[in-house]
Chain A
Amino acid sequence: MNLSLFQKISIGIFALLLLVPFQNVVYDLFMMKVFCFAIFAASLNLLLGYVGLLSFGHAAFFGSAAYVTAHAMKEWGVTPEIGLLLGVATSAAIGYVFGALAIRRQGIYFAMITLALAQVIYFLATQLPFTNGEDGIQGVPRGQLLGFIDLSSSTAMYLFSLGVFAIAFLLIIRIVNSPFGQVLKSIRENEPRAISLGYDVDRYKLIAFTLSAGLAGLGGALKSLVLQLASLGDVFWHMSGEAVLMTILGGIGTLWGPIAGAAIIVNLQNYLANLGGWSTIATGAIFVICVLAFRRGVVGELAHRLKIKL
């Protein structure tokens, strides 16, 4: 079997991730949180890195899926896979509507529209009774996967999260490398030319946006199982900013970049969690540094130096 360097590296990383439950240095829960945010950041990168669209409203998809999954698990007692599917379906549906509106304008307006639309979801989350306002949905049960695998055990939950993350990652690779993905990249490189070649650019953008929203929802839905909590913070615009930050810190348009970015930011927030405002200040400062001096991101820089694809 002939594997590319990218495939070898990816298989190596996943093999290492499989070993996490059998050691005591890295916490399972920390890694599970990284998986959730990695899916979230990778979904944003699918748009920003491969279609050239900056969404500043991805928290709406992350948060709405988190709420729906948490509600379904807690109040309806569904199994986790059904819970995840309900969350993803919700966020994809919202994504379809938002995408249809936002693609009517280009460039910088696109970012502003997604941000404003996401704020509507935030207001809804503060008003609707099932979200419990400031308290959020707490104590979400993890349930029994397929009805017989108990996810309350940390190892089972870890392997399940890793599996979900792997599926999302493979799906993104598949999308990016498909003929559909090639069209997306051509839109990023030169939209007028893609139009003149006869591609219905708006349709491609809308499909990409919906896929990205669904994936962001998968991250949010998984998060509400892992942390057993869905709260207003998940739909707040800070969360959209975090997805963007993870993506540029890791490397826009690289497959492993958003994942590395998510790992770094989740780690950082763990350290700064008790320092109040400092977490926001650090986030902002990293933004500034990345934009000014480090636009390729960690993985992007590595890939550039080693002249490989990551």
Chain B
Amino acid sequence: MFELLGITPQALTAQLLIGLINGSFYALLSLGLAVIFGLLNVINFTHGAQYMLGAMFAWIGLTQLGGWIGMPEFQLNYFVALILAPLLVGAMSIVIEKTMLKRLYHLDHLYGLLLTFGLALVIEGLFRHWYGALGNSYEVPEVLTGGLRAAGIYLPYYRLWVVALALIVCFATWYFIERTKLGSLLRAGTENPRLLQALGVNVPLIITLTYGAGCALAAFAGVMAAPIYQVTAVMGSNLIIVVFAVVVIGGMGSIAGSILTGLGLGVVEGLTKVFYPQASSVSIFVIMIIVLLIKPAGLFGKVR
């Protein structure tokens, strides 16, 4: 059947895998956006820049850092970056929350969006100034090179690893928020922060940590993306607009909903690339329009 349509199973699986990978990134990023919005009432426009920072820090650790400290052989490998970069970005985000975002909670939500938009421009501009607009490539870690060959289909190990790891992290985040004590505090804070505070819970601390963790997730996705895409200063801003559409489609009401919507849309986008390549870059936006027409609150959104 596939041959009849002029599409080989190889091309189809390759695009499906790419779709799943993109979907994993959409899921990780929209998950972070949803958690942050739930508690802070801020749409974090800096999310794309924080994703970029994750990739950028990984790249710097692998290729630049040795030169800086005068030991050219010194490298921070991929797996170290996978832990260090999110921690670093999380710490930076906590500083941002403590010094700037905190002042805007009593205002209209729009100001949070505008502030984080400005911050995204500053971060992106700085890295474009330092490293130019051209892409830097990041090598796949040696352990994960090569791939699986079966029935004429080639599946690179690294891509399989990304999908698996992203799914594990998504599930862990869902489990943490929906099934643990700390997660229940977070959910309570989303419902009614003042009541939670009255019960003696340190809500501002939870807010700060949530922002840090949400942004760390974005950086984590960034490190995973580094060996797949080119590491550039603008890699995040192109992605964040698509993630916004994902968030509009899914609605920010449910954690599991964000994950499913992200993965599903990634796959749909991948399939569009197989069947109608010209439309692949707008497919998610078209789905957003259809969802707005049929179910304006979003697939998992609450009507309000």
Q: Residues on A close to B: CB < 8 A? A: 54, 56, 101, 104-109, 111-113, 115-117, 119-120, 123, 127, 237, 241, 244, 248, 276-281, 283-288, 290-292, 295
The verdict on A284 contacting B118 (CB below 8 Å), with A107-B109, A237-B241 known, is yes
| A278-B125, A281-B125 given; A111·B247 CB < 8 A | no
Q: In the assembled complex, which residues on chain A have CB atoms less than 8 Å from the CB atom of B293?
A: 101, 104
Of the candidates B121, B122, B244, B285, which one forms a contact with A120 in the assembled complex, judged by CB atoms under 8 Å apart? B285
8 Å CB contacts to A: which residues of B92-138? Answer: 100, 103-104, 107, 109-111, 113-115, 117-126, 128-129
Q: How far is the CB of A125 from the nearest CB of chain B, in Å?
A: 12
Structural contact, A105 and B248, CB atoms closer than 8 A: yes
Cβ–Cβ < 8 Å partners of B286 in chain A: 120
Whether B121 and A104, one on each chain, are in contact in the complex, defined by CB atoms closer than 8 angstroms, is no
The answer, among A105, A278, A283, for a CB contact under 8 Å with B296, is A105
B side interface size, CB within 8 A: 43
Residue ID in chain A nearest B246 by CB atoms: A116
Nearest first, the 10 closest Cβ-Cβ pairs linking A and B are A287-B118, A284-B121, A280-B125, A277-B129, A281-B125, A284-B122, A104-B296, A116-B245, A288-B118, A112-B244
Give min CB distance, B44 to chain A, whole Å: 11
Looking at the complex, which one of B114, B126, B245, B247 makes contact with A277 (CB distance below 8 Å)?
B126
List residues of chain B with CB under 8 Å of any chain A CB: 37, 43, 100, 103-104, 107, 109-111, 113-115, 117-126, 128-129, 237, 241-242, 244-245, 247-248, 278, 281-282, 285-286, 288-289, 292-293, 296-297, 304
Query: B289 contacts A101, CB within 8 Å?
Result: yes
A284 touches B288 (CB 8 A): no
Interface of chain B: mostly helix, strand, loop or mixed:
helix
Question: What CA separation (Å) do A145 and B290 show in the bound complex?
Answer: 43
Cβ distance A251 to chain B, nearest Cβ, rounded Å: 14
A104-B296, A108-B109, A284-B125 known; A116+B119 contact, CB < 8 A: no
Give 21 A-B contacts (CB < 8 Å), ordered by A residue: A104-B293, A107-B110, A108-B37, A108-B110, A109-B248, A111-B43, A115-B244, A116-B241, A116-B242, A116-B245, A120-B282, A279-B125, A280-B121, A280-B128, A284-B119, A284-B121, A286-B118, A287-B115, A287-B118, A287-B119, A288-B122
Instruction: Tell me, in angstroms, the Cα distance from A123 to B278 when the chains sit together.
Output: 10
- 18 new A-B contacts at CB < 8 Å, known A281-B125, A284-B122: A54-B110, A101-B289, A101-B293, A105-B296, A106-B304, A112-B245, A113-B288, A116-B242, A117-B289, A119-B245, A123-B281, A277-B128, A280-B122, A281-B129, A284-B117, A284-B123, A285-B122, A291-B115
B118 near A116 with CB under 8 A, answer no
Interchain CB contact under 8 A, A127 and B278? yes
Give bound CA distance, A103 to B187, whole Å.
29
- Checking A244, A283, A292 against B100 with a beta-carbon cut-off of 8 angstroms, the contacting residue is A292
Question: Does B111 lie within 8 Å of A278, measured CB to CB?
Answer: no
A116 to B293, CA, bound (A): 15
Q: Is the CB of B129 within 8 A of A276?
A: yes
Residues of B within 8 A of A116 (CB): 241-242, 244-245, 248, 285, 288
Interface SS of A by simple majority: helix
Partner of A281, one of B43, B110, B121, B292: B121
Among B100, B241, B247, point to the contact of A119 (Cβ < 8 A). B241
Q: CB distance B292 to A115 under 8 Å? A: no
User: Once the chains bind, are A287 and B289 in contact (CB under 8 Å)?
Assistant: no
CB nearest neighbor in B for A109:
B248
Q: Separation in Å of the B4 CB from the closest CB of chain A?
A: 28
Report the minimal beta-carbon distance from B121 to chain A, rounded to whole angstroms: 3
Q: Are B129 and A278 in contact (CB under 8 A)?
A: yes
Quote the shortest CB–CB distance from A258 to chain B (angstroms).
Answer: 15
A286 vs B119: C-alpha distance in the bound complex, in angstroms? Answer: 10
Please report the C-alpha to C-alpha distance between residue A63 and residue B106 in the assembled complex, in whole angstroms.
35
Q: How far is the CB of B164 from chain A (nearest CB, A)?
A: 29
Q: Nearest residue in A to B130 (C-beta to C-beta)?
A: A277
Cα distance, A50 to B115, chains bound together (Å): 21
Min CB gap B216→A, angstroms? 22
Residues of B within 8 A of A113 (CB): 248, 288, 292
Report A232 CB to chain B, min CB distance, Å. 14
Given contacts A116-B241, A116-B244, A288-B100, contact A281 B296 (CB under 8 A): no
